[in-house]
Structure 1
Amino acid sequence: MRAMADITDTARMFIQALPHARALGLVLEEIGQGRTVVSMPWDEKLIGDPATGVIHGGAVSALMDTASGAAVMCHPAGPVSTATLDLRIDYMRPATPGQTIRARAECHHITRSVAFVRVTATDEDESRPVAMATGAFTVDAGRNGDPR
């Protein structure tokens, strides 16, 4: 079993290494024990509808996917690397223009080959999600074998 500090460092490096995470301005706010909070500040370059100023759904999905992958990476039984197998997103409402969007992800179960995640994206109104998703991610334990 890897030490929590190693797991957290691996997950941080995971996000920092992703060019799209840098381009979207993603910020890792919280991490540990299979849970992450990643934020994406509102930015004019991410607008999907110029008439309303609403952030493009693709940027929201990239935020949710990245937060989910990081949650897998920081799970105590987490892998050395991961990739998205499936991410099913339900968009509930447009994010409020000008507001930061936060994705809160939890890796709630890991098998020998798949990790399962739930993630919710909100703006400042945390009582009304912007989007919710469930996902499945690969589990690659590297040379050490089974991550459990």
Structure 2
Amino acid sequence: MTGIKVNDTVASRVGELTEVFQRGLDEKLGVGASLGIRLDAAGDGFTRYHLDPNPATINAMFTVHGGVIATLMDTAMGSAVFTRLGDNTAYTTLELKVNFIRSVAIDGKRLTCEATAVHVGRRTATAEGRITDADGKLIAHGSTTVLVLGPQG
């Protein structure tokens, strides 16, 4: 691929990611609508999402549920890979590893996850992610391996 084609593909995939995520919000579908996960930024192999903890995200201990934190990270890491995939190519998570560093209180402090694609091949891809709180403290970090499904026709 030439540099121009790569940039065009990334721009196309970022636009598609943004459109699909917004459609989910508009139609009240997916993690954006149900948990409040929002897309902040996307680029070549990079995404940033945020979550403002809310009553739908808590566990029995009245802290943010670990599964919600993992979902935020899975969403960001998968999306980072998505920005590097060709048109009509999808993915699904094969493996997700999350290291929880500290619990998160329901205090309105925003959680931000930044994710980066590490390797994107024809059959598998990997990415890394980090979640921080509003004070910049590390909440969790992790990695994923995804199965590349495509191109779809």
Is contact 1:64–1:119 with CA below 8 Å preserved after alignment?
yes
With normalisation by structure 2, the TM-score equals: 0.81
> Which residue of the other structure, out of 120, 123, 131, is the alignment partner of 1:113?
123
Aligned to 1:8: 14
Moved more, 57-66 or 17-26: 17-26
Contact 1:68 1:106 in 2 (8 A): yes
Judge which range, 91-100 or 6-15, deviates more: 6-15
| CA shift digits 1:90-118 (9 cap, x unpaired) | 10111243211111110011111011100
Give ranges in structure 2 of 5+ residues lacking alignment: none
Give the conservation status (yes or no) of the 8 Å contact 1:95–1:122: no
Rounded Cα–Cα distance in structure 2 between residues aligned with 1:140 and 1:14: 18
Q: Per the alignment, in what secondary structure is the counterpart of residue 139 of structure 1?
A: strand
**Which residue is equivalent to 2:56?**
45
Instruction: State the alpha-carbon separation in 1 of the partners of residues 19 and 67 from structure 2.
Output: 23
Q: Deviation of residue 29 (structure 1)?
A: 0.4
- Structure 2 Cα separation of the partners of residues 69 and 79 of structure 1: 15
Question: 1:52-131 maps to which residues of 2 (within 5 A)?
Answer: 53-75=62-84, 80-98=89-107, 99-126=109-136, 128-131=137-140
Of 104-113 and 77-86, more deviation after overlay is shown by 77-86
Residue 86 of structure 1 aligns to a residue in which SS? strand
Q: Give the TM-score of the pair, scaled to structure 1.
A: 0.84
Among 35, 44, 47, the residue aligned to 1:33: 44
CA RMSD of aligned residues (A): 2.2
Q: Percent identity?
A: 24
Following TM superposition, the consecutive aligned residue runs of length 4 or more in structure 1 with deviations greater than 4 angstroms are 76-79
SS at the partner of 2:84?
coil
2:15 partner letter = D
CA distance in 2, matches of 1:8, 1:116: 18
Aligned length: 141
Q: Could you report, residue by residue, the CA deviation over 1:79-99 in whole angstroms, capped at 9, with x for unpaired residues?
A: 721110101111011124321
Structure 2 distance, partners of 1:41, 1:134, is: 22
Whole-Å Cα distance in 1 between the matches of residues 152 and 94 of structure 2?
21
